[in-house]
Amino acid sequence: ERCHFKIIDDPHKITLYNRDILLMHGDTLCTDDVEYQKFRQMVRDPLWQRQLLSKSLEERYQIAKNIRENSKRLSIEKEEDIMDVNQDETDRVFIKNHIDLIIHGHTHRPMIHQKKVNGRDTTRVVLGDWHETGSYLRINGGSDELELKTYR
């Protein structure tokens, strides 16, 4: 509240410059990563969340640390394409939501992808991670120009 931030649903559809845009975390697009999808389902379970929040802060920090370490270890062992978006799922999301622009993170491989889906030009923008640098998308409303930016 003090920061005036608002938590939005995932995914979240907005209209900007008369353009419908879908904002999403992006992890639901990675359907080939079956192990991650199981993990995602577990941590979004309200019972699991209540049990986690009932633990002390110290215990929660340790659990989070263990999860991050395990995730890093498993990521090294996985093939790159398994951890990327599934094109069929991405196409399905474009069609289902009647949009031509998706902005997401999760894979943290910053890039602007353009593709025809059902005869429509679509764009998927992947934002980078937020460690040493950050990334954002600049949209020029007058020209529909998209510019992926990185900052330190």
Strand intervals (E) in 77-132: 101-104, 111-117, 120-126
Question: pLDDT higher for 28 or 141?
Answer: 28
Cβ pair 13, 97 in contact under 8 A: yes
Same domain, residue pair 89 and 142: yes
Cβ pair 102, 24 in contact under 8 A: yes
- If one counts the domains in the chain, the total is 2
Assess whether pLDDT exceeds 90 at residue 100.
Answer: yes
Indicate the range of 9-23, 33-47, 127-141 predicted with least confidence: 127-141
Model confidence over 31-75: pLDDT tens digits? 999 998 999 999 999 999 999 999 999 999 999 999 989 888 887
Host H or E run for residue 89? helix 87-97
Among 57, 77, 97, where does a domain finish?
77
Question: Is 4 part of any domain?
Answer: no
* pTM score of the predicted model: 0.86
